[in-house]
Structure 1
Amino acid sequence: MSFLGIKMFHTSVRQLQAQSLGIKLSSPLALGATFLPSKYRMAYTPLYESPLSKPIATLKRVSLAFGLVGLYLSNMMYTSPALSSDLSYVLATCSVLPLPLIEYFTRDYVSRIFRVYNTEKDQSLENLTTDEILVAEKISLTGRSFYNTILKPAELQLTDGRFGWVNWKTKNGFFYVNEDIGGINMDRLWGMAEHNSGIDNGRYFGK
């Protein structure tokens, strides 16, 4: 494989490509996607960037490749007269089992968070914090691409109601965000989530 082919497979390239196409909203298994109105523009730099997004994307790709190779080998074992068919079932199960487990634990992991600007309004504090919209970028099922989900700070709440890797929830679903990353901008969001959940840790200072 050429260096260019390897480079195009890298997740950072996919992130840059996705950002250049506009604010596209999707979900892991969606057949189509929607776009925010053209008046909205995504910030050039993220408010938050996860330190583990690339390892998790790699883990998803490796688990998918491991499952496909395992299914192929199990099929060869099943059709071979020299090997027991029971072993092929064991191999197929062991190869595929990690896929749903890894997806369940990582599907809500947020790789980056971007502020969304309304270009038809002045960028004053009041306009930025009224009906505020953020975009949370998550890693796709295959680890090959990323998809965006709307994240409204006014709806943010803390949660531990679902087993797995989640700590935020809104009407649009669940999210996992590393705490103590992103400075005062993220402290503000954590404060809003805590305030909406009836918790006071001293981080909430209004919208």
Structure 2
Amino acid sequence: MADELVFYTNPVSRGRIVRWMLEEVGRPYRTELLDFGTTMKAPAYLAINPMGKVPAIKHGDTVVTEAGAICAYLADVFPEAGLAPPHGDPRRGPYYRWMFFAAGPVEASVSNKALGFEVPKERRGTIGYGAMEDVLNALEYAVSQSEYLAGDQFTAADVYAGSQIGWGMMFGALEKRPAFEAYWQRISSRPAAIRAREIDDALRQPAP
């Protein structure tokens, strides 16, 4: 029997990114819904993720946390889904590049902006992302070079980085640049993306 795949999430969290990835993978998985401040901080879940945050997955005996890491893990464990360029493929370079760019500079700069913090101009050299404008320009470059971040192949990098672009524009954390809007329209209309949104949106509704 294949190892069970368990998904720990909340429908108003970054778990929505992993839900999309799971739907792209197309393998059966079981969802465990957790609440902020209660079941996320309970001993049973802290044994899965000591941070007490979602998302997380458990695949057999393997636990993976952090949305970007989960997306990369699922792409590698289920290669038949075609969500990562194979090892040795030159597209593996941009795949890693933009996956980690989203996990680092994009995440940090958007979080700081949401908190109203701006790095002083004279201190930009001491922080990885420099300035928000630098991040936006690099991200615009990334989505403008080809149809997807790794070239002509849709990958886990598009799920992860693309979700940040979509959410960022929705909540005003990222400028609605034409390149971002065109890229988001391309990837958010995928059947798996639509299914994932429908599942999580339904889970947000109070029970009758």
Scaled by the length of structure 1, the TM-score of the pair is: 0.29
Q: Which has the higher helix share?
A: 2
Q: Which has the higher strand share?
A: 1
- Which of structures 1 and 2 has the bigger CA Rg? 1
Scaled by the length of structure 2, the TM-score of the pair is: 0.29
